[in-house]
């Protein structure tokens, strides 16, 4: 009796193994079609495999890739969400999913997908920068909508500080820290950070603009006026920032009027 049961189990295992081998052959063939650019055929095969093997993370991973190549980003997001659910350790799937979420403006959700990716590669500056950017965008969006922005801003600052620790001369990290400190209305910190950035990148008028704003809150009026005047002189020669000159002039006028009163 026991031998019959064992034989039946072995036979069942053989059939299952054979089925999966065939499925793997089909998966390999679908991937080859993707590599050759036959996206539609590959996607059709992968969608069929997904119905047959709903617990196979790699099927969904490649299906997501096919959907990205087909510019069907909604379907791609669903496929990569399924991949991550089935295989939380698939960091590449998490990174692609983060990109798709960011594309939809879901920056905090994107950051949450990137967190484990950064933890798995703690020395990867590019990943840390991506994470910081998503938290910064989430903070800005939350501020504009009246939501809670402080936690995301602090997390963005923490990411950029890691970049500075690794490379103290990495000026963009200074700029991003300064803008987040401004968002948090920590004006004295923002002024000091942005002043350091402008010293390193005097040609960047975005940094100078934000420094002027910070100095309105953190410094005597004369210092802010002086910074706005420098900005105006440079912005008049820059088509990208020339449109901001009238605003800067109004700020100088308001600061002078406040001094008189």
Tell which wins on pLDDT, 22 or 44: 44
Q: Is the pLDDT of residue 14 over 50?
A: no
The two three-digit tokens of residue 107, written as one number? 């920056």
Average pLDDT over residues 237-254: 97
Q: What integer pLDDT is reported at residue 68 of this predicted model?
A: 94
Q: What integer pLDDT is reported at residue 23 of this predicted model?
A: 55
Q: How does pLDDT run across 174-215, given as a tens digit for each residue?
A: 999 999 999 999 999 999 999 999 999 999 999 999 999 999
The two three-digit tokens of residue 193, written as one number? 């950070």
Give the Cα separation of 97 and 109 in Å (integer). Answer: 10
Tell which wins on pLDDT, 169 or 131: 131
* pTM of structure: 0.85
Q: What integer pLDDT is reported at residue 59 of this predicted model?
A: 96
For the purposes of burial, counting CB atoms within 10 Å of the CB of 234, is it exposed (0-12), middle (13-18) or buried (19 or more)? middle
Average pLDDT over residues 131-145: 94
What integer best gives the mean pLDDT of the chain? Answer: 90
- Of all residues in the chain, what percent carry a pLDDT higher than 90? 85
Is the Cβ–Cβ distance between 111 and 99 less than 8 Å? no
Give the Cα separation of 78 and 134 in Å (integer). Answer: 20
Average pLDDT over residues 147-169: 94
Q: What integer pLDDT is reported at residue 243 of this predicted model?
A: 97
pLDDT confidence tier of residue 148, bands split at 50, 70 and 90: confident
Residue where the block lists tokens 């993370």: 57
Q: How does pLDDT run across 211-228, given as a tens digit for each residue?
A: 999 999 999 999 999 999
Numbers of helices and strands, H then E, in the chain: 13, 0
Q: What integer pLDDT is reported at residue 57 of this predicted model?
A: 96
Closest to 120 measured CA to CA, from 166, 156, 77, 88: 88
Which distant-in-sequence residues (6+ apart) come within 8 Å of 215 by Cβ?
Answer: 191, 223, 224, 227
Residue where the block lists tokens 């100095």: 215
Give the Cα separation of 195 and 177 in Å (integer). Answer: 12
Is the Cβ–Cβ distance between 33 and 47 less than 8 Å? no
Closest to 197 measured CA to CA, from 188, 181, 183, 208: 208
End-to-end Cα spacing for the chain: 102
Number of neighbours of residue 46 by Cβ within 10 angstroms: 26
The two three-digit tokens of residue 181, written as one number? 């400190």
Write b or e for each residue in 87-120: b if 16 or more Cβ atoms lie within 10 A of its Cβ, otherwise e. beebbebbbbbbbbbbeeebbbbbbbbbeebbee
């Amino acid at each position: 009796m026991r031998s019959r049961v064992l034989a039946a189990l072995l036979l069942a295992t053989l059939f299952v193994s054979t089925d999966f081998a065939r499925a793997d052959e089909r998966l390999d063939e679908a991937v080859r079609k993707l590599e050759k650019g036959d996206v539609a055929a590959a996607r059709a095969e992968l969608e069929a495999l997904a119905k047959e093997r709903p617990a196979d993370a790699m099927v969904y991973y490649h299906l997501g890739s096919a959907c990205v190549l087909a510019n069907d980003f909604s379907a791609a997001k669903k496929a990569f969400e399924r991949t991550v659910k089935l295989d939380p350790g698939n960091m590449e799937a998490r990174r692609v999913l983060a990109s798709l979420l960011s594309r939809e403006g879901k920056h905090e959700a994107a950051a949450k997908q990137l967190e484990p990716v950064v933890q798995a590669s703690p020395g990867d500056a590019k990943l840390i920068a991506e994470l910081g950017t998503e938290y910064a965008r989430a903070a800005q969006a939350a501020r504009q909508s009246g939501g809670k922005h402080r936690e995301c801003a602090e997390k963005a600052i923490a990411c950029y500080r890691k970049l500075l620790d690794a490379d103290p001369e990495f000026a963009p990290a200074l700029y991003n820290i300064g803008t987040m400190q401004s968002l948090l209305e920590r004006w004295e910190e923002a002024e000091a950070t942005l002043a350091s950035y402008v010293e390193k990148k005097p040609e960047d008028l975005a940094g100078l603009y934000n420094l002027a704003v910070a100095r309105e809150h953190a410094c005597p009026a004369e210092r802010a006026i002086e910074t706005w005047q420098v900005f105006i002189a440079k912005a008049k020669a820059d088509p990208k920032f020339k449109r901001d000159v009238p605003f800067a002039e109004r700020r100088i006028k308001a600061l002078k009027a406040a001094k008189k009163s």
